């Protein structure tokens, strides 16, 4: 990752580096992995929805 | 609508499992719940709060080529509007198929009027929107 990414985060218009993240998949009832590379390969749009913590409100 | 939706918080995947099973509001969740306990992915998108170890309420729309087209970040106590997210996503889809058009401020859905930027439109946007 470049220094710019570490201090400011990615900006609109920038290319997101391929990344993977561990997941829980409710439809399977099991753990999995989300890979941006795979979503791109499948021609899919990706919407990332960050939030502070489970078991909280809003 | 053909998008991969992934939620992400700094909880582990085990907490996600427990929460999804426990909270009635999450009964119908079908999307993967991402775990970012190290905060690496949250930092990548600039939503990691070093003081609390939690992620801010950020939404990012990424196209199939991997480019971020939209970003919205709210502070802890303000939720996001799903209608607005749908609006932005539909606008992105439309524009990806009609790259010579623009979605004006009041655009809400497929079929709403768009603008075709050109020399003819310069200074005449009001007329184009009537």
CA B70 to chain A, closest CA, distance in angstroms equals 6
Angstrom distance (rounded) from CA B14 to CA A17? 26
Please state the rounded mean pLDDT for residues B79-89.
91
The verdict on residue A2 lying in a domain is no
Q: Give the class (CATH, top level) of B7-80.
A: alpha beta
Confidence at residue B105, expressed as pLDDT on a 0 to 100 scale: 86
The verdict on residue A38 lying in a domain is yes
The answer, for B56 touching chain A at a CB cutoff of 8 Å, is: yes
pLDDT in tens, B27-83: 889 999 999 999 999 999 999 999 999 999 999 999 999 999 999 999 998 889 999
Angstrom distance (rounded) from CA B61 to CA B72? 9
Q: Search chain A and give the residue with CA nearest B8.
A: A50
The answer, for B111 touching chain A at a CB cutoff of 8 Å, is: no
Confidence at residue A7, expressed as pLDDT on a 0 to 100 scale: 55
The parent domain of residue A30 ranges over 17-45
CA B84 to chain A, closest CA, distance in angstroms equals 13
How many C-beta neighbours within 10 Å does residue B104 have? 14
The structure tokens listed for B99 are: 């790259």
Is pLDDT of A16 > 60? yes
The verdict on residue A10 lying in a domain is no
Domain count of the fold of chain A: 1
Q: Taking CB atoms and an 8 Å cutoff, what residues of chain A touch B10?
A: 52-53
Q: Search chain B and give the residue with CA nearest A55.
A: B19
Q: What are phi and psi of A41, to 5 degrees?
A: -60, -35
Q: Search chain A and give the residue with CA nearest B65.
A: A40
Q: Rounded to an integer, what is the distance from CA A37 to the centroid of its chain?
A: 11
Confidence at residue A58, expressed as pLDDT on a 0 to 100 scale: 57
The verdict on residue A29 lying in a domain is yes
Angstrom distance (rounded) from CA B125 to CA A10? 33
- SS3 category, A35: strand
Angstrom distance (rounded) from CA B57 to CA B73? 5
Which ipTM value was assigned to this complex?
A: 0.88
User: What residue spans define the domains of chain B?
Assistant: 7-80
The verdict on residue A36 lying in a domain is yes
Cβ distance of A21 and B61 shorter than 8 Å: no
The verdict on residue A5 lying in a domain is no
- SS3 category, B70: strand
The verdict on residue A51 lying in a domain is no
CA A49 to chain B, closest CA, distance in angstroms equals 5
The verdict on residue A11 lying in a domain is no
- SS3 category, B65: coil
């Amino acid at each position: 990752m470049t220094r710019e990414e570490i201090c400011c985060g990615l900006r609109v218009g920038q290319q997101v580096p391929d990344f993977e993240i561990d997941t829980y998949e409710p439809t399977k009832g099991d753990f999995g992995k989300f890979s941006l590379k795979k979503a791109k390969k499948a021609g899919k749009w990706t919407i990332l929805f960050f939030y502070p913590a489970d078991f909280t409100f809003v | 609508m053909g998008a991969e939706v992934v939620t992400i918080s700094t909880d582990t995947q085990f907490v996600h499992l427990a929460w999804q099973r426990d909270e009635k509001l999450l009964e119908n969740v079908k999307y993967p719940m991402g775990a970012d306990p190290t905060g690496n992915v949250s930092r990548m998108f600039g939503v990691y709060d070093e003081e609390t170890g939690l992620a801010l309420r950020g939404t990012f729309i990424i196209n199939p080529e991997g480019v971020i087209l939209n970003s919205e970040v709210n502070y802890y106590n303000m939720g996001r509007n799903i209608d607005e997210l749908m609006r932005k996503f539909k606008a992105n889809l439309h524009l990806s198929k009609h790259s010579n058009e623009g979605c004006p401020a009041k655009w809400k859905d497929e079929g709403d009027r768009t603008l075709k930027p050109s020399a003819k439109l310069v200074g005449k946007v009001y007329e184009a929107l009537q």
